Structure 1
Amino acid sequence: MKRALAVAFLIAAGTFGWSQQRPAITGIAFVRVYASDAASSAKFYGKTLGFSSSKDGTITRYPVNDSQWIEVAPLPSPAPPTRLEAVGFMTRDARALASYLKAHSVEIVDPLHKGRFSVRDPEGNLIVFVQEVKGAAVGPAVPSTAVSHRLIHSGFVVKDRAKEDRFYHDLLGFRPYWHGGRNDTTTDWVSQQVPEGSDWLEYMLNISPDATLKQIGVSDHMSLGVKHMSDAIAGLERNHCEGPNCSASKSGRDGKVQLNLYDPDLTRVEMMEFEPAGKPCCSEFTAKHPTEHESR
């Protein structure tokens, strides 16, 4: 009798544990930014970066590939201090992930609807989880003018790393990828990969509370992956990119070649090669690099 009760207890415990497992989070689905001028924003994302667009109510969507996209929303009034409104991550089971987060006392701010729901992280950033489906409501095909076909990371200002780590690392399972700083003795950037993929979220640390919109736009950013920066620069030239930034590539502190553009509202769109061309400062990479065609 005691053995039967023990077996029953183990089965029940196993079932409970299984029900609390976190569903897979496989990559970035989208980044949503605000725009104060729709025409100027369309010129940047549609012409300079070469993406096609579709409308979803007030939001303009620019597909990057068949499962990732950029969203541009009208700037509200009064204007918020950042132009980054939301970051979306893909999950293999949105319903189960919503249940998992609720079980861990995370408030669902937008309930599950059409395969997506949203929460706010400990610092108030809007995080959307999207059911992973190829071509999920992305819209038109990506044209040949597009300078990239992969979103590889997004970053935003983080004030309390330990608090954010409890959410992204402990609860959601994000994994260290790389960290570094403006010099070898400080940590200004912490890259945390999604648990079941190679896309990452970048903590932007040590940002002044009096930062200007341009300084916040440097931190609250998105990154488009490219295999060879020379090809991206050639694409920008074909798309009639204007200004010195259009060809100003450089090697970042992580050893990866990058190029920084800014949309009309000063949100940074960083173009970055998938793999480092040189040795990174500060720390080694601790996980695989993204690729041009990510398998999920």
Structure 2
Amino acid sequence: MRRSFALALLFAFATLGWSQQRPAITGIAFVRVYASDAAASADFYGKTLGFSSSKDGKVTRYPVNDLQWIEVTPLPSPAPASRLEAVGFMTRDARALESYLKAHSVEIVDPLRKGRFSVRDPEGNLIVFVQQVKGAAVPPAVPATAVSRRMIHAGLVVKDPAAENRFYREILGFRPYWHGGMNDTTTSWVSQQVPDGSDWLEYMLNVSPNATLKQIGVMDHMSLGVAHMNDAIAALERNHCEGPNCTAAKTGRDGKVQVNLYDPDLTRVEMMEFEPVEKPCCSEFTAKHPTEQEPR
């Protein structure tokens, strides 16, 4: 009898531990930005970047591939300091992940509904978790005019990286990918890769509390991955991209070639090659690089 009770107790503890295992988080699902001018925003994301769109209420969605998309929603009044409203991550089990976060005392802002729920990270950023699906997550199909078919990271202004690490690394299981800065002695960018994929979230550090909208737009950004930047620049040219930024390729401090564009509300949309072309500054990469197509 005593042995049976002990085995039952052991099983209960084992079951509890199993039930609180974190479900897989496989990558970025979407980035949602605000738009003050719907027509100008549609011109940038639809024509310059070459994505098709669909509407879901007030939100316009631009699929990047079957599992990733960009969301654009009207700018509220009063306008917030940042034009980036939310970052979404894919999970293989949204219901189990919601339970896991509750068990770790993370407040659920929007409970699970239609395959997604949301929380706020320690700095108040809206983070959405989306149930991964088979087939296209949102319509329509990605056209040949698209400059990229892969979103590889998003960046957020971060004031307290230690607090953010407790959430992203200790609870969610994100892992270091690379860190660097404008010089070799100051860390201004810290990349945290999702636990079950190669996409990452970039902490943008050392940002002035009096930063302008343009400066915040540089920091709160999204990044589209490309294999060869020359092909992306050629696609921009075919899409009639205007201005010097359309061809201003440069190698970043991480050794990767990039081109930076800005939407009408000054949110930066970075295009970045998947792999570095030269040795990075400041630190070595500590995880695999993204690719154009990955198993999820």
1:55 maps to: 55
Q: Separation in 2 of the partners of 1:268 and 1:44?
A: 12
**Residue deviations 1:98-119 (CA, integer Å, cap 9, x gap):** 1111111111111111100000
TM-score norm. by structure 2 comes to 0.98
Residue 3 of structure 1 and its aligned partner are, at CA, apart by: 4.2
Q: Separation in 2 of the partners of 1:65 and 1:121?
A: 26
Query: Does residue 10 in structure 1 map to residue 36 in structure 2?
Result: no
Q: Secondary structure at the match of 2:50?
A: coil
2:86 maps to: 86
Q: Secondary structure at the match of 2:276?
A: coil
Q: Separation in 1 of the partners of 2:283 and 2:171?
A: 24
2:180 maps to: 180
2:243 maps to: 243
Query: Does residue 30 in structure 1 map to residue 34 in structure 2?
Result: no
1:222 maps to: 222
1:64 maps to: 64
2:272 maps to: 272
Query: Does residue 115 in structure 1 map to residue 130 in structure 2?
Result: no
Residue identity in the other structure for 1:124 = G
**Residue deviations 1:135-194 (CA, integer Å, cap 9, x gap):** 454110000000000000001100000000000000000010000011000110000000
Residue 13 of structure 1 and its aligned partner are, at CA, apart by: 1.6
Residue 6 of structure 1 and its aligned partner are, at CA, apart by: 3.6
Query: Does residue 205 in structure 1 map to residue 205 in structure 2?
Result: yes
Identify which range, 100-109 or 244-253, moves more after superposition: 100-109
Q: Separation in 2 of the partners of 1:155 and 1:135?
A: 27
- CA RMSD between the two structures: 0.9
Residue identity in the other structure for 2:34 = Y
Residue 11 of structure 1 and its aligned partner are, at CA, apart by: 1.7
Q: Separation in 2 of the partners of 1:188 and 1:201?
A: 14
Q: Separation in 2 of the partners of 1:140 and 1:71?
A: 13
Residue 10 of structure 1 and its aligned partner are, at CA, apart by: 2.3
Residue 2 of structure 1 and its aligned partner are, at CA, apart by: 4.8
Q: Separation in 2 of the partners of 1:106 and 1:146?
A: 37
**Residue deviations 1:183-239 (CA, integer Å, cap 9, x gap):** 000110000000000000000000000000000000000000000000000000000
Q: Secondary structure at the match of 1:51?
A: coil
Residue identity in the other structure for 1:180 = G
Q: Secondary structure at the match of 1:237?
A: helix
Q: Separation in 1 of the partners of 2:254 and 2:74?
A: 34
Identify which range, 96-105 or 2-11, moves more after superposition: 2-11
Residue 12 of structure 1 and its aligned partner are, at CA, apart by: 1.7
Q: Separation in 1 of the partners of 2:140 and 2:294?
A: 20
1:44 maps to: 44
Q: Separation in 2 of the partners of 1:21 and 1:87?
A: 23
Residue identity in the other structure for 1:209 = P
* Equivalent residue pairs, number: 296
1:77 maps to: 77
Contact 2:275 2:289 in 1 (8 A): yes
TM-score norm. by structure 1 comes to 0.98
Residue identity in the other structure for 2:293 = H
Unpaired runs of 5+ residues, structure 1, are none
Identity %: 83
Q: Separation in 2 of the partners of 1:123 and 1:29?
A: 20
Residue 275 of structure 1 and its aligned partner are, at CA, apart by: 0.4
Residue identity in the other structure for 1:208 = S
Residue identity in the other structure for 1:222 = M
Q: Separation in 2 of the partners of 1:2 and 1:256?
A: 63
1:130 maps to: 130
1:256 maps to: 256
2:102 maps to: 102
Identify which range, 28-37 or 126-135, moves more after superposition: 126-135
